[in-house]
Structure 1
Amino acid sequence: MTELLVTEMIERLAKLGFTQSEEKIDEKRLKKLEKHYKLSIPELYRHFLLLYENGSPEYDIQYRAIESVPRADKDNMLSFGSFLVAVDGSDSLEQHMKDYYERMPSSLLPIAADLTGNLICMGLSGAAEGRIYYWDHENELAAKIMLQMDLKGITSIDDYWENLYVVADSFMDFIRSLRMEEAAEIKKVSAVIVRESMREGFIESMKLAREKLEAEEKKKKEKRKSK
């Protein structure tokens, strides 16, 4: 079953402009992360991390959450930024685990981000296990604490879910929900149309120009004969 899901995942991501890594991430590195944070990375997501070193798509991507998200558009569509992959840098999975470890429930793992600081997380245990969530950074617990807002009896980050919304019931369902933004699709199709039109127009213009030159040359020859 996993092999079929991996194949489907690769095919879907390829259509959206994600490319696989030439050099695979070391399995030992994932195990080190699991040991340090006392978690177990789900099998399909593990395959993803071992296959992809660049989490950014070629095109603008969006997705529809299954739960209403305040920051979504009228169709509950949200813009996707990039996956967090197991490589070095500020956008890596490892760095995000470190930066957000105490800013979201411990049962969640950040797996992707949009372009405005919000995250997409995967549930690893309890009622959240397997589910994918949208984490709204502007409504996180740390922000409420800084603003001295009423925490309504919340004593732990694990109790705070007010800035979390269900995106998909599984990682594969989330992959299936990803699609090219309409504007990107139109731009891509338009580029092809313009390219083809230019090619056809160029050929037609060349044909007309050649006919015009031949006609002028014919007139010149006839004029010479008549003298």
Structure 2
Amino acid sequence: MTFEKLLNLGPRLFKEKAKDLALVQKDIGPVATSSKIYRELLAFIGGAIIFDKGALFTCDESSPLNDRNGNQRLEVLFGFGDSDYSIKKEALRYADQLPPSFVPIGESPGGNLVCVNGDGVVYLWDHESQYEQGIWRIAGSIDEFLNRLSPENPVIGDTENVIESKSFLNF
């Protein structure tokens, strides 16, 4: 996914912009900043990212948390800084519950977390499950995860996925 396509999902800054991105990146370690696209997005927005238009993703592994179409919704990508929804604060909040190598990078409805492990693989973690249970693989990397993000509510009148030759409507 290109950076521009991510911007089409309607990301906006939640609260304030981080003041020293280099220091914050050092705080959260290389796992969550291993993706160039992710780093660029976080640096551009400067903090936690709320998706106003909604963002959907699919997982490599099916989970009981999926909607009827097999999708999950992403509400927020955690950002840099010390405000609510920062990677650092969320990692500290869930330190006793998440597997040791997991770094939370986002949240789905209901408080379920999108996490990256030490190998860079992205997982969905059910916050109501027992330690190291309720974990489903989303993607092999942050870039792959970001590539799967799509708008929750496509624009009305968008004909991108319409095969015009098989449609009885006149576009």
User: Structure 1 residue 12 and structure 2 residue 2: aligned?
Assistant: no
| Corresponding residue of 1:133 | 123
Query: For 2:70 and 2:18, how far apart are their aligned partners in 1?
Result: 37
**Secondary structure of the residue that 1:81 maps to in structure 2?**
strand
Q: Which residue of 1 aligns with 2:105?
A: 111
* SS in structure 2 at match of 1:133: strand
Which residue of 2 is the match for residue 96 of structure 1? 90
Q: Gaps (5+ residues) in structure 2?
A: 158-171
Q: Which residue is equivalent to 1:65?
A: 59
* Alignment partners' CA distance in 1, 2:19 and 2:2: 17
The amino acid of 1:57's aligned partner reads: F
> Counterparts of 2:18 and 2:88 in 1: how far apart (Å)?
18
Paired residue for 1:30, among 6, 21, 25?
25
Q: TM-score, normalised by structure 2?
A: 0.77
2 CA distance for matches of 1:47 and 1:131? 19
Larger radius of gyration: 1
Post-superposition offset of 1:27: 0.4
1:150-182 per-residue CA deviation (whole Å, 9 max, x = no partner) reads xxxxxxxxxx2x21100111111111111112x
In the other structure, the counterpart of 1:76 is: 70
- The equivalent residue for 2:156 is 189
Residue 50 (1) aligns with residue 21 (2): no
**Larger helix percent:** 1
1:32 Cα offset (Å): 3.3
- Residue identity opposite 1:56 in structure 2: I
Displacement after TM superposition at 1:114 (Å): 1.3
Inter-CA distance 9–101: structure 2 relative to 1 (3 Å threshold)? farther
What's the offset of the Cα at 1:118? 0.3
Task: Give the aligned residue type for 2:71.
Answer: M
Superposition CA RMSD, Å: 2.6
Q: Kindly indicate whether structure 1 or structure 2 has the higher relative contact order, using CA contacts under 8 Å at least 6 residues apart.
A: 2
Gaps of 5+ in 1: 1-7, 142-159, 191-227
Aligned counterpart in structure 1 of residue 145 of structure 2, from 164, 171, 174: 174
Match of 1:139, SS state, is coil
The CA distance in 2 between the partners of 1:138 and 1:68, in whole Å, is 17
Contact 1:9 1:172 in 2 (8 A): no
Distance 1:80 1:140 in 2: 22
The aligned length equals 153
Calculate percent identity across the aligned residue pairs. Answer: 23
Q: Greater share of strand residues, 1 or 2?
A: 2
Write the distance in 2 (CA, Å) between the matches of 1:39 and 1:130. Answer: 6
Kept in 1: contact 2:31–2:116 (CA 8 A): no
Task: Give the partner amino acid of 1:84.
Answer: F
